[in-house]
Structure 1
Amino acid sequence: MKPAAVLEYVSQNVRAYRSLKGLSQQQLADLAGLSRRMIAGVESGQDNISLAKLSLIADALGVDFAQIIAAPEQQGQAVVNALAWRGAQAQSVAKLLASVPAAQKVELWAWSLAPGEQYCAEPDPEGWREMLYVTEGELTLDLAGKLQAMQAGESAVFSSTAEYRYINRSRQPVKFIRNVVY
């Protein structure tokens, strides 16, 4: 999937779900706790929004996060292999590997970060947890200022209700699997 396609799907989906709900951009912004300008940027396909803010929009619209990033042919189905975030460098991506409705929500992601790249996450709602497993390279996990270096083959579980970052401080790409449970 081309990087532009991700923003295009998000743009189309947010606009379509907002219209279905009969909401103005300002009303959606208020419900999501964001600015109208941010909603307008997302709907125009110009803003590469953070995953946490995109999740706030999905919650405000009453849809699953996966429905916001899904290609048109995936709507209403399980979402598999959807590119959801791209960093400044082509090697830095977050791909939602699979998402299906369940009593609790579980998401499986494949991540890679180029050397020197990082992803800064905003706190998730209460009750969210993440599980990481490093498959290649070294990942530095910053949990509210506490750094933890993780090598290939190592894993971590943490509450994602505080700010956290994924950082690649090495000279090689890092790849890891991320499960989100809420």
Structure 2
Amino acid sequence: MHNQVPRSDVLAHVGTNLRHLRKEAGLSQEALAAASGISRRMIVNLESGHANISLGSLDRLAEALDTTFLKLVSNPERESRRLEDVMWRGKSALSQATLLGAAPARQDTQLWIWSLDVGEHYKADPDPEGWHEMIFVLEGTLQLDFDTETQIVQANDFTIYSSAQNYSYTNAGNCVLRFLRSVSS
């Protein structure tokens, strides 16, 4: 599945941060696996930098550690207002999601820039209750599919919705789709 974090420095940060946060919380790998629903083997591989994991699974690990997604994935030496880390890659080199930065909120507020090549698709895991997304399409046509409806968002238009539900992004046009995505809790 291509809803995975790419191999990059981000995974090195995840491994180091995960190990530090897990130990700080006084949890064994087994206890974290039980609390998050992520296998112990995946946690071992993440901590050693030898695994890819979905963005939704990273959210579950952060929640189990009583921390934020941002603290789990960020370079601890870099200011969170300007991160600029690629967090997802699609099948095409033109499809990726970059976490631009974040600001403090109840939990997190994140700013992303996404691009999806023609025909590319991203299926998201639902966020916890209270999370929302705001999307502004820069170029192309975004198709948002929810369980009960589909929204089409054209260039220079936006949408706001609860991300505490099943949803997916699809490039419904015939050129590269680019959009800004703000996530807040």
Question: For the superposition of Structure 1 and Structure 2, which TM-score range results when normalised by the shorter chain?
Answer: 0.7 to 0.9
List structure 1 runs of 4+ shifted beyond 4 angstroms.
Answer: none
For structure 1, list consecutive stretches of 5 or more residues without a partner in the other structure: none
Q: Counterpart in 1 of 2:140?
A: 137
1:78 is the counterpart of 2:80? yes
- The root-mean-square deviation of aligned C-alpha atoms, in Å, is 2.0
Q: Which whole-Å deviations, capped at 9, do the CAs of 1:92-128 have from their partners, x for residues lacking one?
A: 2212222122346322111111222211111111111
Q: 1:104 to 1:45 in 2, by over 3 A?
A: closer
Mapped partners of 1:96, 1:65: distance in 2: 11
Q: How does 1:1-182 map to 2 (within 5 A)?
A: 3-74=7-78, 77-80=79-82, 81-103=84-106, 105-144=108-147, 146-182=149-185
Q: 1:102 to 1:145 in 2, by over 3 A?
A: closer
Q: Counterpart in 1 of 2:3?
A: none
Mapped partners of 1:43, 1:12: distance in 2: 6
Which letter does structure 2 place at the counterpart of 1:158?
A: Y
- TM-superposed CA distance for 1:3, in Å, is 4.7
For structure 2, list consecutive stretches of 5 or more residues without a partner in the other structure: 1-5
C-alpha contact (below 8 Å) 1:70/1:79 kept by paired residues: no
- TM-superposed CA distance for 1:42, in Å, is 2.4
Q: Which whole-Å deviations, capped at 9, do the CAs of 1:5-26 have from their partners, x for residues lacking one?
A: 1222212221222122232211
C-alpha contact (below 8 Å) 1:66/1:79 kept by paired residues: no
Query: Normalising by the residue count of structure 2, what TM-score does the alignment of the two structures yield?
Result: 0.86
Query: Normalising by the residue count of structure 1, what TM-score does the alignment of the two structures yield?
Result: 0.87
Q: 1:145 to 1:7 in 2, by over 3 A?
A: farther
C-alpha contact (below 8 Å) 1:79/1:98 kept by paired residues: yes
Secondary structure at the aligned position of 1:111 is classed as strand
Mapped partners of 2:169, 2:33: distance in 1: 27
C-alpha contact (below 8 Å) 2:74/2:80 kept by paired residues: no
Q: 1:145 to 1:8 in 2, by over 3 A?
A: farther
